[in-house]
Amino acid sequence: MRRSGLITKKIGMTRLFDAEGRAHGVTVLAVGDCAVIGNRTMDKHGYTALVLGMSEAKEKHVAKPQVVAAKKDGVKMYRKICEFRITDDCMIPIGTAMSADHFAAGCYVDVQGASKGKGFQGAMKRHNFSGDSASRGSLKTHRSLGSIGNREWPGKVFKGRKMAGQMGGEVVSVQNLKVFGINTEDNLIYIDGAVPGAKDSFIMVQDAVKKELSKDLPLPTRLPSGAAEKAAEAAVEPAAEEKPENNKA
């Protein structure tokens, strides 16, 4: 069984205390207006997945294919869109609003986000090089890169050599982080530990692939009160209307 993940926005970090009084540095993630805006089925697309969107956007700020798809499915347009692979038994109807209680306190999750951009940095900061010696005749080479090549042969610098360059701004995944708590009133998730990304950046959160699925997690998600009943009624009503037509025929 594989559930969908969530698109969240990083608020920042704070400190919370557990039942034993120990302090924990936690990352606060806001679920916001995350909602299901599309389904991918095996019959039509060749795989099963959910398309989620977050942070409502204007039509002029959205690519044309997304505008067409949103109008066709009758959903809003969002700034951030992401697909989550799922199993058939974890499909969620289009238009369902996701909430923080999709996860539960104590479960483990994998998070993914873009790391903070550091700009152009040297080899010591970018690759943790030790640098040159600080004494014994060393002159203005304390943070230098050092030798980057060989001898006359091959007479070039090999591709992939660790050198100075742009640092950060890359997709980083962190596995097996524990959910410290859930705030259903403000729709917040507290993650125990640090999460990659700057403030207000989008963070993808999903069940940890290297941990067993917690029994406290709702399947496929925590639907609003009455949503399941409405979906069942909608599935029954068309069948009831077809009976008189079949009898006339």
Residue 157 identity = V
As beta bridge partners, residue 80 has 54
pLDDT of 227 reads 57
Give residues with Cβ within 8 angstroms of 78, minimum separation 6: 33, 35, 37, 53, 54, 55, 56, 57, 62
Sheet strands side by side (includes 49-56): 35-40, 49-56, 78-85
Preceding peptide of 220 cis, ω within 30°: yes
CA dihedral (213, 219, 225, 230) in degrees, to 10, reads 170
What distance lies between CA 188 and its chain's CA centroid? Answer: 14
pLDDT of 246 reads 52
How far is the C-alpha of 190 from the C-alpha of 181, rounded, in Å? 5
pLDDT of 242 reads 47
For every residue of 177-200, DSSP letters joined together read EEEEEEETTTTEEEEES--SS-TT
Chunked in runs of 10, what are the mean pLDDT values of the chain (249 residues)? 96 96 97 95 95 95 93 93 95 94 96 97 96 86 90 91 96 97 96 96 97 92 66 43 49
225 burial (CB, 10 Å; 0-12 / 13-18 / 19+) is: exposed
Residue 41 to residues 45, 86, 102: CA-CA distances in angstroms?
Answer: 6, 10, 22
- Record the pTM: 0.84
